[in-house]
Copies of this chain bind each other. A is one copy, B any other.
Amino acid sequence: DIVAALNGAAGAVPSIAALSDKRVLITAGPTREPIDPVRFLANRSSGRMGFAIAEAAARAGAQVTLVTGPSQLTAPRGVTRVDVETAEQMHREVLARAAQADLFIAAAAVADYRVAAPADQKVKKTETAQHLELVPNPDILRDVAALSDGPFTVGFAAETQAIVDNARRKLTDKGLDLIAANAVGEQQGFDVSDNTLQVLWSDGQATLGPAPKTQIASELIELIGARLDATG
């Protein structure tokens, strides 16, 4: 397949020279954006893809830190886990570590917006319509990609339409080294175990899957290893 052709590897991830002892920073899961003490905005991310990538990177020989939103999953053995809840917390924990990382993989489904003014007390129900004012969250991926001398930066694009076009625009706009795009929606992408990824970089493209997320994660880590070798 295309990954094997790129780096000569076959089967499950062995130690990958390009990743051996490298510092790899990965985000996973959803974020929760509070509305009041009990309510929040969230999304359907289970964290499975990010956790699977963390496991594949650790098996490839990397030193892995996983910054994750709320997830029922257990961190892979040997991985340093940092738990966060909101996008702003994730931004802070990632930016505190990104300059020292060799590779950053943003697999979290970070909320684009947070509630402008979360309530201190539970909001009482009324019979009328309500408006919730939302403001944009900081863009973790863009801020890491913009670091001078920053890590090789890999983004994800969860799209419901025009998947490859939207992903290539995001690759260019945010100054990423590589982007992995998948289709999401009912029964696709989030909260299921099988997946297909369209992987794009400045002068190339590959398709991974359909396959279980654990296998997709191993193939993605192999592909990233090959790109790290190629870009030096």
Binding site for B on A (CB under 8 A): 35, 37-45, 72, 109, 111-113, 116, 121-123, 125-136, 158-161, 184-186, 189-190
Contact assessment for B129 and A134 in the assembled complex, using a CB-CB cutoff below 8 Å: yes
Closest CB-CB distance, A128 to chain B, in whole Å? 7
Closest CB-CB distance, A185 to chain B, in whole Å? 4
Is chain A's interface secondary structure helix, strand, loop, or mixed overall? Answer: loop
Contact assessment for B131 and A132 in the assembled complex, using a CB-CB cutoff below 8 Å: yes
State the copy count for this chain. 2
Q: Give every chain B residue within 8 A of A121 (Cβ-Cβ).
A: 160-161
Q: Give every chain B residue within 8 A of A111 (Cβ-Cβ).
A: 39
Contact assessment for B116 and A129 in the assembled complex, using a CB-CB cutoff below 8 Å: yes
- 20 extra A-B contacts, CB within 8 A, seeds A38-B44, A40-B41, A130-B133: A35-B41, A37-B184, A38-B158, A38-B184, A38-B185, A39-B41, A39-B44, A40-B42, A40-B43, A40-B44, A113-B130, A122-B158, A122-B184, A125-B136, A126-B136, A128-B136, A129-B133, A129-B134, A131-B133, A132-B132
Q: Give every chain B residue within 8 A of A190 (Cβ-Cβ).
A: 38
Q: Give every chain B residue within 8 A of A128 (Cβ-Cβ).
A: 136
Contact assessment for A37 and B132 in the assembled complex, using a CB-CB cutoff below 8 Å: no
Contact assessment for B131 and A135 in the assembled complex, using a CB-CB cutoff below 8 Å: no
Q: Give every chain B residue within 8 A of A136 (Cβ-Cβ).
A: 125-129
Looking across the interface, which residue of chain B has its beta carbon closest to that of A185? B37
Contact assessment for B134 and A130 in the assembled complex, using a CB-CB cutoff below 8 Å: yes
The one of B39, B45, B127, B133 in contact with A43, judged by C-beta atoms closer than 8 angstroms, is B39
Question: How far apart are the CA atoms of A182 and B86 in the complex, in Å?
Answer: 26
Q: Give every chain B residue within 8 A of A112 (Cβ-Cβ).
A: 123, 125
Q: Give every chain B residue within 8 A of A161 (Cβ-Cβ).
A: 121
Looking across the interface, which residue of chain B has its beta carbon closest to that of A109? B38
